[in-house]
Amino acid sequence: MNTLATTAPAFDQQGTQSDEARVDAAMRSFVSEFGVTTALHLESCVHCGLCAQACHFHVTTGDAKYTPIRKLELLRRAYWREASPFAPLVRALGLVKKPSIADLQQWQELLYDSCNMCGRCTVVCPMGIDIAELVKEARHGMFKAGLLPDRLALMDRTARQWGSTATPGEDLPDILAEVSAEHGVVIPCDLGAADILVTAAPAELGEHTKALADAAKILNHIGAKWTLHQGGFDAANIGFNNGDLELQERLTRALIDTAVKIGAKTVLLPECGHAYGAARWEAAKWYGQALPVRIIHMTEFLDEVIASKQIRVNKVGGTATFHDPCQIVRRGGLEAAARRVLAALGFELIELKNHGVTGYCCGGGGGVVSNQRAAPLRQKVFEMKRQQVEATGAKRFVTSCGQCRITLEMGAKQAHWDKRTDSLLELVADNLAA
């Protein structure tokens, strides 16, 4: 029974491993993460409590169990027992208890339901502890133990089978043909040679096809030689979120190796935060050297083609506020780029109370938006975001992450809020000057 939950146990498990085997698998994974940086982080906490006030789940619930550093407790215990300078003594004297299967089951809620790996806690930590990164490392062990939320485990299996959570690669040409016909735009697929490999997020192959069509509209407008490709097209890396390192590597290599195969020098990522984290910042570790291609986010691309005058945009005017996607802005550094694009569109930007690197997460990142049992927590976070948006009085509400957009739309529907969440990409495409 998960003592952290007030009703049904907030944990799922996959596979047929025994409880002992699950614990051992998690511990082996934890130990494999214990390098110098992780050790310094795990030993540096001074219990100041600042991370609690930075976490939207703690702020909106007032529940101490959502304090970010607490989410690392079992990782810390594993470190002291297995890898710290005094580990033999710690084990011999029983100073730190070995995590149990019940501990791991209870911990699942903290790692997957109430953490977006957004990094806001990392920013405020006076000791420089990268809590978000350590949570990601802890998820590696949970995956090995077969202790994912079932919704995320299903997506993991789908991606392993198809190379995408949305569709098998063999269906991509037909999907793109339908999107092309619906929106009246040419979308090349499986070209043998191109300068830019364009990738998609799953929603762009389903309910948000306009975003994909708008990317095509802009690329065609500047005369780029580009393509989507069956070999690597889905950039939203579910392995990155789940802690499935093998899948994360496979999905990342599919993008980069396909780009190399067709001679592309650039991989263009969609409006997706975790795509940026997985492909832009972690891809090099799979290759052990500088990447053979440039990987850029759609926000960077829009900023660059506007600044270089490859495209001109009409002035929309009016007021707008902007939701900063955590993986793109706080973890990715693209705070100024999005604002330059908004300025080019003629918006008067009215910032949220918390914005830029201190902006609050939408509540759905890190796979939480796909984890149905976390919906009540997500809704609490949405309510805080809604209040901040309304306080600006801005006419438009814009973001540059498709997953944030989905999360915010889900929250708006639940709250009967009529404010639309606009895509930065779609705003640019809708206002291209002739």
pLDDT per residue over 29-60, tens digit each? 999 999 999 999 999 999 999 999 999 999 99
Q: What is the pTM of this model?
A: 0.94
> What is the Cα–Cα distance from 81 to 152, expressed in whole angstroms?
30
pLDDT per residue over 138-157, tens digit each? 999 999 999 999 999 999 99
- Strand 266-269 vs strand 294-297: parallel, antiparallel, or unpaired? parallel
pLDDT per residue over 255-281, tens digit each? 999 999 999 999 999 999 999 999 999
* pLDDT reading at 185 higher than 70: yes
pLDDT per residue over 203-216, tens digit each? 999 989 999 999 99
Give which of 281, 323, 321 is closest to 407, Cα–Cα.
323
User: For residue 76, what pLDDT band results from cuts at 50, 70 and 90?
Assistant: very high
Residue 4 pLDDT: 41
User: Integer distance in angstroms from the first to the last C-alpha of the chain?
Assistant: 62
pLDDT per residue over 381-395, tens digit each? 999 999 999 999 999
> What is the Cα–Cα distance from 383 to 427, expressed in whole angstroms?
25
State the average pLDDT for the chain. Answer: 95
Residue 289 pLDDT: 87
> What Cα–Cα distance (Å) separates residue 147 from each residue in 10, 107, 114, 166?
11, 10, 15, 23
| Sign of the CA dihedral running 75, 29, 244, 266 | positive
Secondary structure of residue 418 in the 3-state scheme: coil
User: Domains plus CATH for the chain?
Assistant: 19-148 (1.10.1060), 163-304 (3.40.50), 312-430 (3.40.50)
Please report how many Cα atoms fall inside a 13 Å half-sphere around the Cα of residue 391, on the Cβ side. Answer: 10
